[in-house]
């Protein structure tokens, strides 16, 4: 049967199991929204206040559900407003399809009203993108975009559709067969045997778990491996939850703001097994002094990551499930009491829990939320403190901008996580500077009655930048203080949000007791010291064992 291009898009999304769309209407996508008008019994459409935040919402929807996020934006400024969100998803390998409207074919290339070359602009931040100028190719393009976004190493895909293609009609036949299947790569047995031999001979191994473990859903296999061979494990930010933080082999965060014992474990190990991790600069510090005594095994699906930031690793490129299953069979069971005891001796004493510090605030908050709470953050000091102190148990519990470091990510992400997981608790941990970038989305939270809980660590500054200015720029605080006369209570309550102010642990505990399990939106503003800092910190360009504990 012949149907419009707009209906073809919606039918293809149905084929792929899509039932939730994050979007914002505009001139070029009016035909698509006209078709959507008849499909609102099937599709749950979420309209945010700004296109950037709807992409962040689709991003966290994808991370927390394992589904592909779908976004609709109009041409011109609507499309360009999606760029930061697309780049955020690209850096963290999040499956997403962004459908943008474009001016009609006859106006492309003529500097028409709201015309931009969005495919050209996003070429370097998408896994693939398309300008679909012919109705004949539309169904195949949408199907392929959905398949490409979710296959292999996932990522965002953009499809730009001229307005006349939305309106044109063409034959449509439903199919559920994939049009694109990324061929799985299987590692040669000799490579697996070499890796297993290295593991069996190792005395001080460490496993470095990244986001690829979460994306490939191989958490359980990885844990089975480390328990059989007794390998202590560190996480990148993207890898949090792949091993429960309270597991006896979990060492926590590694890198610039990593726990002391985690960084020292990597520095002193004789074998580092990287699983689905990309050795970012924030993890490795000075490359030639990272894990200096260790042989490195690098397990990844993306060959371009091999030896990008390291040298002479043993590469195991391909399907992670296949690799881990084979290693599990090949390695010998082992116990490493001396190595674990050495690492235990590297841990620091706990500070006073009565002080109103970020550590104590987050650990106390953690006590009031269930193990399957989804935590989203913005970017800055509060993000690092969350990584250091929150006891993540599962790998889909944490949504944060790791690779791009996008301030303003958190509230949109909380919206998407709550939409995708209506029966779970969603907690946003934010800072006052990041919250300024996205608080307009409180309107969205209110509109859809989303019971998101929010904790703001308010130090009246751009905290991380200010810390760096103090430590590395002679305390020349240039444009980082934010002492503005805003009444937080009036501001939050104007959105219909329950508000609490906490300046002591007693006030925080009162707010948590009263609000933690309410099915309504709650905001707790925690006023912390202006000079609270994230420690440990590894100065830029230094090896990760050279941690500063104060400064």
CATH number where 510 lies: 3.40.50.970
Do 368 and 294 lie in a common domain?
A: no
Do 334 and 391 lie in a common domain?
A: no
Do 37 and 167 lie in a common domain?
A: yes
Catalytic residue (choose from 52, 102, 114, 381): 114
Name the strands in the sheet holding 314-317, side by side, starting at the edge strand that comes first in the sequence. Answer: 250-253, 233-235, 205-209, 271-275, 295-300, 314-317
71 lies in a domain?
Answer: yes
76 lies in a domain?
Answer: yes
pTM value is 0.96
Do 275 and 311 lie in a common domain?
A: yes
The last residue of one of the domains, among 314, 344, 374, is 344
- Separation CA 363–CA 360 (nearest Å): 5
349 lies in a domain?
Answer: no
Do 153 and 7 lie in a common domain?
A: yes
Catalytic residue (choose from 464, 523, 525, 532): 464
Active site annotation includes 505: no
Answer whether residue 484 shows pLDDT above 80: no
In the chain, the number of structural domains is: 3
Active site annotation includes 113: yes
CB 525 within 8 A of CB 249: no
Residue ranges making up the domain that contains 433? 358-527
Answer whether residue 354 shows pLDDT above 90: no
Do 207 and 331 lie in a common domain?
A: yes
Active site annotation includes 114: yes
The CATH number given to whatever domain includes residue 293 is 3.40.50.1220
- Separation CA 300–CA 154 (nearest Å): 13
The predicted-structure confidence for 34-45, as pLDDT tens digits, reads as follows 999 999 999 999
212 lies in a domain?
Answer: yes
Active site annotation includes 228: no
Catalytic residue (choose from 2, 106, 113, 308): 113
Answer whether residue 436 shows pLDDT above 90: yes
CB 310 within 8 A of CB 286: no
Active site annotation includes 333: no
Asked whether the CA dihedral 55, 56, 59, 65 is positive or negative, the reply is: negative
String of b and e for 161-195 (b: at least 16 CB within 10 Å)?
bbbbbbbbebebeeeeeebeeeeeeebeeebbeeb
CB 458 within 8 A of CB 526: yes
Nearest of 404, 503, 372, 511 to residue 454 by alpha carbon = 511
Answer whether residue 312 shows pLDDT above 90: no
Catalytic residue (choose from 51, 144, 397, 425): 51
The predicted-structure confidence for 52-106, as pLDDT tens digits, reads as follows 999 999 999 999 999 999 999 999 999 999 999 999 999 999 999 999 999 999 9
Query: Rounded to 5, what percent of the chain is helix, strand, coil?
Result: 40, 15, 40
- Separation CA 103–CA 120 (nearest Å): 15
Do 155 and 278 lie in a common domain?
A: no
Do 515 and 384 lie in a common domain?
A: yes
367 lies in a domain?
Answer: yes
Quick one: average pLDDT of 129-155? 97
Give me the residue label for tokens 């009162």: 510
274 lies in a domain?
Answer: yes
- Separation CA 322–CA 329 (nearest Å): 11
Which band of pLDDT confidence, cut at 50, 70 and 90, is reported for residue 181? Answer: confident
- Separation CA 461–CA 465 (nearest Å): 9
Answer whether residue 353 shows pLDDT above 90: no
Catalytic residue (choose from 16, 67, 163, 204): 163
């Amino acid at each position: 049967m012949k149907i419009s291009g707009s209906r073809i898009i919606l039918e293809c999304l149905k084929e792929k199991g899509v039932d939730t769309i994050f979007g914002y209407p505009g001139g070029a996508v009016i035909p698509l929204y006209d078709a959507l008008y008849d499909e609102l019994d099937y599709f749950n459409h979420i309209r945010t206040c700004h296109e950037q935040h709807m992409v962040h919402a689709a991003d966290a929807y994808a991370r927390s559900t394992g589904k592909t996020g779908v976004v609709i934006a109009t041409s011109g400024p609507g499309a360009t407003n999606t760029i930061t969100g697309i780049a955020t998803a690209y850096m963290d390998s999040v499956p997403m399809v962004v459908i943008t409207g474009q001016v009609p074919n006859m106006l492309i290339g003529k500097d028409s009203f709201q015309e931009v070359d969005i495919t050209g602009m996003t070429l370097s931040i998408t896994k693939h993108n398309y300008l679909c100028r012919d109705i004949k190719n539309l169904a195949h393009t949408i199907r392929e975009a959905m398949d490409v976004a979710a296959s292999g190493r996932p990522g965002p895909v953009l499809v730009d559709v001229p307005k006349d293609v939305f309106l044109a009609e063409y034959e449509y036949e439903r199919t559920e067969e994939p049009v694109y299947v990324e061929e799985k790569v299987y590692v040669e047995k000799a490579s697996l045997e070499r890796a297993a031999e290295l593991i069996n001979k190792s005395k001080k191994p460490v496993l470095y778990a990244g986001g690829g473990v979460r994306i490939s859903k191989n958490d359980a296999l990885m844990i089975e491996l480390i328990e059989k061979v007794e390998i202590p494990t560190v996480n990148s930010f993207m890898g949090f939850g792949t091993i429960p933080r309270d597991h006896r082999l979990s060492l926590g965060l590694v890198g610039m703001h990593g726990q002391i014992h985690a960084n020292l474990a990597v520095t002193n190990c004789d074998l580092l097994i990287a699983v689905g991790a990309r050795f970012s600069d924030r993890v490795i510090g000075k490359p030639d002094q990272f894990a200096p005594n260790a042989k490195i095994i690098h397990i990844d699906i993306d060959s371009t990551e091999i030896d990008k930031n390291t040298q002479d690793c043993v590469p195991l490129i391909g399907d992670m499930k296949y690799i881990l299953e084979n290693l599990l069979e090949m390695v010998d069971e082992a116990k490493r009491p001396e190595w674990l005891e050495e690492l235990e001796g590297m841990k620091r004493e706990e500070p006073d829990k009565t002080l109103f510090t970020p550590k104590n605030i987050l650990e106390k908050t953690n006590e009031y939320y269930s193990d399957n709470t989804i935590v989203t953050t913005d970017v800055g000091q509060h993000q690092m403190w969350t990584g250091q102190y929150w006891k993540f148990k599962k790998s889909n519990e944490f949504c944060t901008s790791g690779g791009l470091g996008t301030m303003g990510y958190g509230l949109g992400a909380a919206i998407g996580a709550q939409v995708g997981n209506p029966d779970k608790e969603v907690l946003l941990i934010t800072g006052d500077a990041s919250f300024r970038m996205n608080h307009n989305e409180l309107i969205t939270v209110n509109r859809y009655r989303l019971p998101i809980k929010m904790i703001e660590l308010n130090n009246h500054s751009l905290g991380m930048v200010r810390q760096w200015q103090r430590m590395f720029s002679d305390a020349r605080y240039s444009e980082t203080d934010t002492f503005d006369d805003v009444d937080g209570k009036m501001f939050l309550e104007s959105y219909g949000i329950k508000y609490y102010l906490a300046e002591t642990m007693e006030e925080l505990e009162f707010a948590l007791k009263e609000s933690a399990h309410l099915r309504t939106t709650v905001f707790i503003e925690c006023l912390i010291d202006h000079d609270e800092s994230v420690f440990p910190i590894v100065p830029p360009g230094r090896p990760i064992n050279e941690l500063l504990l104060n400064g």
